[in-house]
């Protein structure tokens, strides 16, 4: 029987040479290695590797006293110490997260409705906050009155997604004890026509009332300090809403798609109007922007097809050119005429605006 020839010695030698060439350590001078070590110690991670994209393998000796590092990126003692500290910190945080008990969901029936809630620091949260468990059944129909107490303590928070896509509730009454409305608390409540927000509420989370397509108006108390992104986005029937005096920023997409909104009062304390804040508010006809506004985000008024005139009480805000207001009829106080002329470059403006809207500047 013929015998097949074995592997070529030449091929084996070539493979071995390639292996040695590939795994050969980089030849660097002593000074270069010292520079690398100093740089790694200062940066806290190897200079020649991304801090997020390197791995290492530690092999413990039988005596558990020495660690042999198998990666060239951790050749510096300072880097090894920093890496081990970070590893220990991350491991401790992970262990603490696992050890922390989840808030235990409780239930109580009030006025024929079973409520799910949690208790922390003698305060009740409707729903379960970070666990995103609904406060009531999504099949609940009609008006809802949230109880002042559950489990013997005051209800202070409407948790994240507490009424998420409860599409059959028509109105909600919040107790005076509530001070926070969480993210997406009433998101998708498409049949909700009215909601009262009591004085004392300071925080309204992102998407809190998003997609409430039947909500026509809402009154926000002056206690509100923060309204986060998209809180009223796509409330397509919303015709009127006030912005509380303590608000300093109209956040991203706050009124995106509020196509029935005809007017909005921006209080003097507002300093920023963020990106897409009034995007596609197609029924918005006029707007007065206070002197306190110094910045307007890009496309903040994109799609406001009915907006024909905008009155500015102050100087040209940063970002005005990208705010989708170019081409509208712009009015401004006379002491800033030179600054506005540089921006508008002959675009139409109201010559009677100073007499009609801003008598303090006459």
pLDDT tens digits along 173-216: 999 999 999 999 999 999 999 999 999 999 999 999 999 999 99
Distance CA 356, CA 133 (A): 53
Q: What is the mean pLDDT of residues 74-87?
A: 58
Full-model pTM: 0.69
Would you state the torsion angle of the CA atoms of residues 275, 298, 262, 170, taken in this order, to the nearest 10 degrees?
-20
**Nearest Cα residue to 198 out of 181, 183, 214, 185:** 181
Instruction: Tell the burial category of 242 from Cβ atoms under 10 Å away from its Cβ (0-12, 13-18, 19+).
Output: middle
pLDDT at 1 > cutoff 90: no
Which pLDDT band holds residue 307 (cuts at 50, 70, 90)?
very high
The answer to whether the CB of 300 falls within 8 A of the CB of 328 is no
Length of the chain in terms of residues written = 362
pLDDT tens digits along 89-142: 666 665 555 444 445 789 999 989 999 999 999 999 998 766 667 899 988 999
With vertex at residue 220, the alpha carbon angle to CA 218 and CA 223, rounded to the nearest 5 degrees, is 165
pLDDT tens digits along 87-99: 666 666 655 554 4
Which pLDDT band holds residue 342 (cuts at 50, 70, 90)?
confident
Which residues fall within 8 angstroms of residue 41, CB to CB, at 6 or more apart?
A: 76, 78, 79, 82
Q: Which of 76-80, 129-133, 204-208, 353-357 has the lowest mean pLDDT?
A: 353-357
Question: What are the structural domain ranges in the chain?
Answer: 37-100
The answer to whether the CB of 51 falls within 8 A of the CB of 44 is yes
**Nearest Cα residue to 153 out of 123, 126, 128:** 123
Sheet strands (E) in 57-105:
58-60, 67-69
Q: Both tokens of residue 252?
A: 């991203």
Report phi then psi at 214, rounded to 5. Answer: -100, 0
DSSP state of 99: H
Which residues fall within 8 angstroms of residue 325, CB to CB, at 6 or more apart?
A: 296, 301, 310
């Amino acid at each position: 029987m013929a015998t097949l020839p074995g592997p070529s010695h030449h091929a084996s030698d070539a493979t071995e040479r390639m292996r040695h060439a590939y795994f050969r350590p980089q030849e660097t001078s002593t000074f270069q290695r010292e520079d690398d070590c100093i740089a790694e110690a200062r940066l806290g991670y190897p200079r020649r590797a991304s801090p997020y994209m390197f791995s290492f393998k530690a092999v413990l000796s039988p005596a558990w006293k020495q660690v042999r590092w198998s990666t060239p990126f951790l050749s510096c003692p300072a880097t090894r110490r920093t890496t081990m500290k970070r590893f220990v910190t991350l491991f401790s945080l992970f262990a603490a997260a696992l050890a922390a008990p989840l808030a235990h969901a409780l239930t109580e029936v009030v006025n024929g409705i079973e409520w799910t809630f949690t208790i922390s620091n003698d305060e009740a949260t409707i729903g379960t906050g970070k666990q995103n468990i609904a406060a009531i059944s999504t099949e609940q129909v009609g008006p809802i009155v949230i109880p002042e107490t559950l489990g013997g303590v005051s209800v202070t928070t409407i948790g994240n997604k507490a009424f998420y896509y409860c599409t059959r509730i028509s109105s909600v009454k919040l107790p005076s004890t509530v001070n926070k409305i969480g993210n997406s608390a009433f998101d998708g409540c498409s049949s909700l026509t009215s909601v009262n927000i009591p004085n004392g509420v300071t925080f309204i989370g992102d998407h809190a009332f998003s997609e409430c397509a039947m909500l026509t108006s809402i009154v926000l108390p002056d206690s509100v300090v923060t309204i986060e992104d998209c809180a009223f986005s796509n409330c397509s029937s919303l015709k009127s809403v006030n912005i509380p005096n303590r608000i300093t920023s109209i956040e991203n997409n706050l009124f995106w798609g509020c196509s029935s909104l005809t007017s909005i009062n921006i209080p003097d304390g507002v300093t920023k109007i963020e990106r897409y804040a009034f995007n596609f508010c197609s029924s918005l006809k006029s707007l007065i922007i206070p002197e306190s506004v110094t910045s307007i985000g890009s496309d903040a008024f994109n799609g406001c097809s009915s907006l024909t005139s905008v009155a500015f009480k102050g100087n040209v805000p940063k970002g005005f050119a990208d705010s989708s207001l170019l081409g509208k009829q712009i009015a401004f106080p006379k002491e800033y005429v030179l600054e506005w002329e540089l921006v508008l470059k002959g675009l139409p403006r109201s010559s009677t605006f100073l007499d009609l809207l801003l008598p303090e500047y006459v």
